[in-house]
Amino acid sequence: MCDKMISMNILIVGAGPAGVVSALAIKKNHPDYNVLVLEHLNEPLKKVLATGNGKCNLGNAKLDWKRFSHYDFVSKHISDYSFEGYREYLNSLNIRTKLIDNLLYPISESAITVREALLLEAERLGIKFKLAESINSYEFKDNFYEVKTDKSSYKVDKIIFSTGSKSSPQLGSDGSIYSLLVKHGYKITELKPGLSPIHTIEKTRVLEGIRVKANVVLLKNCKKIHKESGEVLFKDSGLSGIVIFNMMTEISRNGNGEYKILIDLLPEFEVKDLENLHKNQTNEEFLKGFVHPKMLKYFLENHYEKEPIKYLKALPFTYKSSYGFEFSHVTVGGVSLTEIKDNFESRKEPGIYFLGEVLDIDGPCGGYNLAWIFHVARNFNF
Ligand SMILES: Cc1cc2nc3c(=O)[nH]c(=O)nc-3n(C[C@H](O)[C@H](O)[C@H](O)COP(=O)(O)OP(=O)(O)OC[C@H]3O[C@@H](n4cnc5c(N)ncnc54)[C@H](O)[C@@H]3O)c2cc1C
């Protein structure tokens, strides 16, 4: 441990998109500030490389902000958002973008482009990084914060916590920051995995590997709470795919209860059309014409072939558990929004800020989370 304290204007804890993009914004607004980004992994922006299956889904041309948790808070920050404005910002960083089915990606279709562009801009602006270094404590002393890490001590004017939350800890966001924040009296709302595959009570091994384009309904205690269309992927012990990821978020947001997922395997067919087509066929013959052989086997194993149309239009699955934080893309919960002002500053500790997924805000799949984080981070100012 060094005895001498290193002086910095701004210390940003966490080199994810929230931390790096806000560092760029601060340095642009205050070129004379010393800005240091502290990262406990030995590389910055590691998670970005894993986003969008390595392609980095940066945004969504049809983004519906109401799908975020705590829309009332989110809505205060989006009046100046425009999709074209966002693309122009990315363009200014040399991240050229394109749309694939309304989803925004770098033209290169590589998340490496995004990471390298952000780091190049950070270097150009003189932002410093300290890697493989963890914060242990911070304390307010008269007019500055003294920050102690496992390697150094810092004297800083302001601290931004942009440590992410608990999802995919293998990518750095291990939730370790929350114990420090609890010591400082912050309320952390319950942390649960969002956007993840789910385990079902029903055994799905026979279905493993099948993908279907379906309409999916989520019931809580027999009441419909969410519906969505898209691809469902059957796994050896449950369900996955974008629609299921979003269902997991809804389950985590809606608390305890019995959750059922009904999958309409034939969304393009009305029941009465199916009834007409079923005439003069046995149930099994009828099913063979519509479903994958593995699905037929599943129907037979569960005796669903006795009422084929009913189960084709609403194949039921019972939620057992999520696949856990390790497999989740975002966390539901975080630093409570009651702890911060509209400018993301702590209400109890002036000069302390929270940005990004560390907060209790999460969005669905489809570029929502990065679009929100880039938006607030690039507009961040003191
Ligand atoms: C596999 C995967 C795919 C995804 N794909 C997409 C997608 O395509 N589109 C989309 O919009 N969203 C996607 N997301 C979600 C998106 O990546 C996150 O919401 C976003 O990265 C959060 O940004 P952040 O900066 O708040 O936190 P993070 O990206 O989690 O970054 C936090 C950083 O802080 C560091 N850190 C944590 N604790 C400490 C500490 N105590 N001290 C120092 N450093 C610390 C971490 O190592 C990390 O580098 C995906 C997530 C995952 C896991």
Instruction: Give the model confidence (pLDDT) of 151-199 as tens digits.
Output: 999 999 999 999 999 999 999 999 999 999 999 999 999 999 999 999 9
CATH of domain 5-192+330-378: 3.50.50.60
Burial 152-177 (b: 16+ CB within 10 A, else e): ebbebbbbbbbbbbbbbeebbbbbeb
β-bridge mates for residue 59, sequence order? 104
Q: State the pairing for strand pair 223-235/238-240.
A: antiparallel
The single-letter DSSP state of residue 120 is: H
- Residue 82: band (very low, low, confident or very high) from pLDDT cuts 50, 70, 90: very high
List residues near ligand 1 (CB under 6 A).
13-19, 38-41, 46-47, 50-52, 56-57, 134-135, 162-164, 167-168, 171-173, 176-177, 329-330, 356-357, 367-370, 373
Over residues 249-276, mean pLDDT: 97
Average pLDDT over residues 371-380: 98
DSSP state of 376: H
What confidence tier does 3 reach under pLDDT thresholds 50, 70, 90? low
Do 345 and 353 touch, CB atoms closer than 8 A?
A: yes
- How many whole angstroms separate alpha carbon 12 and alpha carbon 354? 10
Nearest residue to 354 via CA among 139, 178, 131: 178
Q: Where in the chain is the domain with CATH 3.50.50.60?
A: 5-192+330-378
4: confidence class by pLDDT, cuts 50, 70, 90: confident
Q: What are the residues whose beta carbons fall under 8 Å from the beta carbon of 85, sequence distance 6 or more?
A: none
> Is 377 strand, coil or helix?
helix
Q: What number does the ligand 1 atom closest to the CA of 164 have?
A: 27
With the most atoms of ligand 1 within 8 angstroms of its CB, the residue from 163, 176, 355, 365 to mutate is 163
Residues 353 and 376: their CA atoms lie apart, in Å, by: 12
Q: Which amino acid is present at 273?
A: D
Contact 172, 45 (CB under 8 A): no
Out of 47, 134, 167, give the residue to mutate to test ligand 1, the one with the largest number of ligand atoms within 8 Å of its CB: 47
pLDDT at 2 exceeding the cut of 60: no
Cα of 164 vs centre of ligand 1, distance in Å, is 5
pLDDT exceeds cutoff 50 at 1: no
Name the average pLDDT for the chain. 97
Would you place residue 142 in the very low, low, confident or very high pLDDT band (cuts 50, 70, 90)?
Answer: confident
Q: Are 35 and 182 in contact (CB under 8 A)?
A: no
pTM recorded for the entire structure: 0.96
Reduced to 3 states (helix: H, G, I; strand: E, B; else coil), residue 57 is coil
User: Which residue would you say has higher pLDDT here, 3 or 243?
Assistant: 243
DSSP type of residue 360: S
Which of the listed residues 130, 148, 151, 329 should we mutate to test ligand 1's pocket, taking the one with most ligand atoms within 8 A of CB?
Answer: 329
Q: Kindly give the distance from the C-alpha atom of residue 48 to the centroid of ligand 1, in angstroms, as a whole number.
A: 7
> Which tokens go with 277?
């087509």
Nearest alpha carbon, ligand 1 atom 41: 177
Whether residue 231 is predicted with pLDDT greater than 70 in this model: the reply is yes
CA separation for the pair 216, 247 (Å, rounded) = 9
| pLDDT at residue 23 is higher than 80 | yes
- Six-digit token pair at 278? 């079923």
- pLDDT digits over 303-327, tens only? 999 999 999 999 999 999 999 999 9
Mean pLDDT across 246-260: 98
